[in-house]
Structure 1
Amino acid sequence: MLPQVLPLAAFAATVSAHGLITTPTPRGPGDASVAACGQSVVDNIKNDKTSHVEGLPELAAADPDYHAEQCNVWLCKGLQYADNEANVQQYTAGQSVPIEVQLTIPHVGSANVSIVDTKTDTIIGTPLLSWPSGYADEREFYAHTTPANQTKFNVTIPEDIGSQCSEAGACVIQWWWYGTGAKQTYESCVDFTVA
């Protein structure tokens, strides 16, 4: 079986990209991300904005510029609000928000879209959308039958969000996907405020 595994591993290593939010504009890397997480993490993300999170903790810990109190790679891949102030979306409670996700290498698993409190890295309320299983199924992807609602969908800003997300940087809409076979986590975040 080893001869069959090696070509697949070599192929996987040469292909970049797995998935990310494309609309609205998600958080991207910049100087604040370098200052918090180190150049190694930012270079990894710049080389493949859609890559998984699992390799980032090791890169961060080995980087002399890493500051654990500022960089949580499990929240928006460690990407910092300060690099993304120009991309803050303004929404109102009850508003329907269209989101588009690019999936380029599928890994069947589960996914959700949630509002996350960035200070505590916790979901506010319940997920806005959830796919408990069957998300990004390889068989559907390669047969060109991936359900449309896995890559283009709307979420509704909760009516009861109150003032929790009134300040820019306090909350993100986070798309989170875990490929169970690959054991890889993908995430993208959109900064927003609620009037």
Structure 2
Amino acid sequence: MYSQLLSLAALAATVSGHGLISKPTPRGPGDASSAACGSSVVANIKGDLTSHVEGLPELAAKDTGYHGDLCNLWLCRGLQYADNAANVQAYKPGQKVTIEVQLTIPHAGSANVSIVDTKTNTIIGEPLLSWPSGYADERQFYAHQTPANQTKFDVTIPEDLGSKCADAGSCVIQWWWYGTGAKQTYESCIDFTA
């Protein structure tokens, strides 16, 4: 009976997923994320790396380990650079970067890929790529007709970043998706320098 419950729990964790960047390596949780956002938030993310942001603020508010001045759940789901320093990508202005996204449960909505200043949580310039509507439409997904450019695409590192992204941890490439019907936000970030 116990093994059946564990199997059901594992299945539930698998089907609850939604989406995240799979390549290049995105930010993941670790000790710094736990210290900033609390162990409840990190446990939730570790339990489902593709989970949405909604619900995390409530978990954080109940956790004595949450430090709102250090943890911005609306930037990379609160995942911290310090846990991901070994995964920083070095790109040059004008370089094309191929990004792959894993979609496990679709929710039609809008999405974009942008360079985000991590100090201010603001997009630098214009989004590198955007889907104003129709992103991850469940009707296409379940009919195996999801457009290929929604799960694998190229972005070009802008020429005009100047020194804004010269230091590791200053900027991320953030994939952001909002499922309109589900009212859920998904974020995944790549640390990089340029």
TM-score interval, normalised by the smaller of the two chains: over 0.9
Q: What is the CA-CA distance between 1:172 and the residue it aligns to?
A: 0.1
**Match of 2:160, SS?**
helix
Which runs of structure 2 are paired with 1:32-181 in the superposition (5 Å)? Answer: 32-181=32-181
The amino acid across from 1:172 in the alignment is V
**What CA distance in whole angstroms lies between the structure 1 residues aligned with 2:35 and 2:184?**
26
**What CA distance in whole angstroms lies between the structure 2 residues aligned with 1:12 and 1:64?**
27
CA 1:14/1:163 → structure 2, altered by over 3 Å: closer, same or farther? closer
Say whether the 8 Å CA contact 2:13–2:47 is kept in structure 1. Answer: no
Q: What is the CA-CA distance between 1:16 and the residue it aligns to?
A: 1.8
The amino acid across from 1:54 in the alignment is E
**What CA distance in whole angstroms lies between the structure 1 residues aligned with 2:12 and 2:181?**
14
Given the two structures, how large is their TM-score scaled by the length of structure 2? Answer: 0.93
The amino acid across from 1:140 in the alignment is Q
Given the two structures, how large is their TM-score scaled by the length of structure 1? Answer: 0.92
**What CA distance in whole angstroms lies between the structure 2 residues aligned with 1:39 and 1:46?**
10
**Structure 2 unmatched ranges of 5 or more:** 1-10
Q: Which residue of 1 aligns with 2:8?
A: none
**What CA distance in whole angstroms lies between the structure 2 residues aligned with 1:13 and 1:21?**
18
Equivalent residue pairs, number: 184
1:152-171 deviation per Cα after TM superposition (whole angstroms, max 9, x unaligned): 00000000011000000000
Q: What is the CA-CA distance between 1:92 and the residue it aligns to?
A: 0.2
Which runs of 4 or more aligned residues in structure 1 lie more than 4 Å from their structure 2 counterparts after TM superposition?
11-14
Q: CA RMSD in A?
A: 1.3
**What CA distance in whole angstroms lies between the structure 2 residues aligned with 1:183 and 1:55?**
11
Q: Percent identity?
A: 80
